[in-house]
Structure 1
Amino acid sequence: MRFIGCALLAFTCLAAFQSATPALLAPIRPYNQNGTLVPQSNFALELRGVIRQIPKDQIEKLIQTYLLNDIEFQGLIRAINSVPAFRLYRQLANQPEVRQLQQWTTQQLILSGGSPKIFDYLELEVKIFNKYPYWSQIVNGIRGFQSEFVQIYPVQLIRSLLEPSASQTSPLLSELWRRLVALRPVYERVLATPPGKVITAELQRLGVDVGGVDALIRYQFGWSNVTVGNSYPNYDYYLY
């Protein structure tokens, strides 16, 4: 994701809060029932902790292996980077609900002392040479890539860190989760457009298990609790 800054709004909120608070009074600090201080929430650190659970290096290595050695996967990458696919991505990114989520996230990151640059961790770098000679013998088409990807991507862990629960009580992460869940109509609306249907049909033609990808996305963002599909019997399990 790419997030647009809202620094002016953030500083305005801070200024308004300070003007309404007596300058000489210390802030009220919450306590648990046992008398211990409740640790203050820091959205930037919490979100960084979630992002760091994504095994970027393993995903990067998997993509490099298939991109350099698998003809089917190379065709998929070309389709993803085509002009129609880029336009569909921009259409999704420009939806009002998505833009509001971007602005809110950026604002909360700034207010907590962070910045949208924490998402730079997810940027991938793919080298143009095989690191190991045997890589060319272990690729198995687009379906092979999908099967390997779901083995290393910790979909359940990421959801458990975002979704409110007994262990996840952060108010800002809970609000982020609520906003992500609310994006379901946007996702379905964009996919139902003519460009969305064209891209979906092209991915299916190339051999992508579109249903499996859709199930992964819906589970990750709380739009569905279905976690096991026919295509990926090991969907719930991943390797560390």
Structure 2
Amino acid sequence: MRFYGLTLLALSCLVAFPGSTAVQLAPIRVFSANGTQASNFALELRGVIRQVPVDQLEKLVQTYLLNDAEFQGLIRVVNSLPAYRFIRQVGNQPEVRQLQQWITQQLILSGGSPKIFEYLELEIKIFNKYPYWSQIVSGIQGFQQEFVQIYPVQLIRSLLEPSSTQTSPLLSELWRRLVALRPVYERVIASPQGKAITGELQRVGLDINGVDSLIRYQFGWSNATWGVPSYDYSDNLYY
């Protein structure tokens, strides 16, 4: 059984790729005007993705999915037809499709493939690996608390956001395009389908505000949750 972690699903839906992707290409060496080797987008993005502790998240999701009835109800909502249609709605937004195309193009030009995102896929087995797992689950709130302890949201953001240590022009461009998706996110969340699915998730016990804060921080739309000075990229929203 394969499953994408709940918040990973929420985060990756903005940059999700279709199941059919380009084949892995041979590495392409790109050189800058002065003859030095330029940054490789595929390798840089892979380095960011590899910071996601998939093994730990897989264990966490498996523990709750097999042992917690409240979390199982949440997963049924996530896997429902309305949720599937909502994710398709997000993926069909013109701005999201444009971002997908840009990422695919840059990956292929740098010798990579959208298949690098397969690293984020979680594979869940149907039996407890350890007998004590059934005694350590504590509902959806417990899952969310453990998730935010494992998922390195600040590290991922620091690797994408331009800074004194992140000077890659292509990662900086990716960050700018992610920041520019804020109106898209707010538009789809405010749509009837978005209100319906978020309302259902809230009904079964998910802290919608917490998920929303994590998403907004991850993509640079807000700093409020993490206690650092807030800033706004809205003046630079362009493609």
Give the whole-Å Cα distance in 2 for the aligned partners of 1:214 and 1:60.
22
- TM-score, scaled relative to structure 1: 0.82
Contact in 2 for aligned 1:5/1:103 (Cα 8 Å): no
What is the rounded CA distance, in whole Å, between the counterparts of 2:22 and 2:86 in structure 1? 25
C-alpha contact 2:22 2:114 (8 A) present in aligned 1? no
Aligned position for 1:69:
67
Q: Percent identity?
A: 76
Question: Aligned residue for 2:17?
Answer: 2
Alpha-carbon distance in 1 for matches of 2:22, 2:122: 26
SS at match of 1:227: helix
Q: Displacement, 1:28?
A: 3.6
Give the counterpart of 2:175 among 169, 174, 177.
Answer: 177
1:79-90 superposed matches below 5 A: 79-90=77-88
- Report the alpha carbon displacement of residue 227 of structure 1 after superposing the two structures with TM: 2.7
- Quick check: 194-203 or 95-104, which moved more? 194-203
Cα distance in 2 between the residues matched to 1:27 and 1:222: 29
> Pick from 197, 200, 205: which aligns with 2:203?
205
Q: Which residue of 1 aligns with 2:164?
A: 166
The residue type equivalent to 2:17 in the other structure is R
**Stretches of structure 2 lacking an aligned partner (at least 5 in a row):** 1-15, 24-30, 228-239
Cα 1:81/1:168, change in 2 over 3 Å:
same
Q: 1:185/1:27 Cα in 2 relative to 1: closer, same or farther (>3 Å)?
A: closer
Q: CA deviation at 1:228?
A: 3.6
Aligned pairs for 1:46-195 within 5 A:
46-195=44-193
Cα shift readout 1:79-112 (whole Å, capped 9, x = no counterpart): 0000000000000000000000000000000000
Deviation of 1:169 (Å): 0.4
> Quick check: 1:29 aligned with 2:37?
no
Which consecutive residues of structure 1, in runs of 5 or more, have no partner in the other structure? 8-25, 31-36, 230-240
TM-score, normalised by the number of residues in structure 2 = 0.82
Structure 2 CA distance for aligned equivalents of residues 195 and 111 of structure 1: 36
User: Helix, strand or coil for the counterpart of 1:44?
Assistant: helix
Quote the Cα distance in structure 2 between the aligned partners of 1:171 and 1:228. 26
Residue 225 of structure 1 deviates from its aligned partner by 1.1
Counterpart CA distance in 1 for 2:77 and 2:121 is 19
> 1:212-238: per-residue Cα shift (whole Å, max 9, x none)?
000000000001012348xxxxxxxxx
- SS of 1:68's partner is helix
Contact 1:72 1:206 in 2 (8 A): yes
Aligned mate of 1:40, from 25, 38, 41: 38
How many angstroms apart in 1 are the aligned matches of 2:226 and 2:45?
27
- Residue 22 of structure 1 corresponds to which residue in structure 2? none
The separation in 2 between residues aligned to 1:116 and 1:188, in whole angstroms, is: 26
Give per-residue Cα distances to partners, 1:41-88, cap 9 Å, x unaligned.
000000000000000000000000000000000000000000000000
4+ aligned runs moved over 3 Å, structure 1: 3-7
Contact 1:68 1:129 (8 Å CA) reproduced? yes
**Once the two structures are superposed, what CA deviation does each residue of 1:143-172 show, in whole Å capped at 9, x if it has no partner?**
000000000000000000000000000000
Q: In the alignment, residue 123 of structure 2 is paired with which amino acid?
A: E
1:181–1:222 contact (8 Å) kept in structure 2: yes
Letter in 2 for 1:84: P
Contact 1:70 1:141 in 2 (8 A): yes
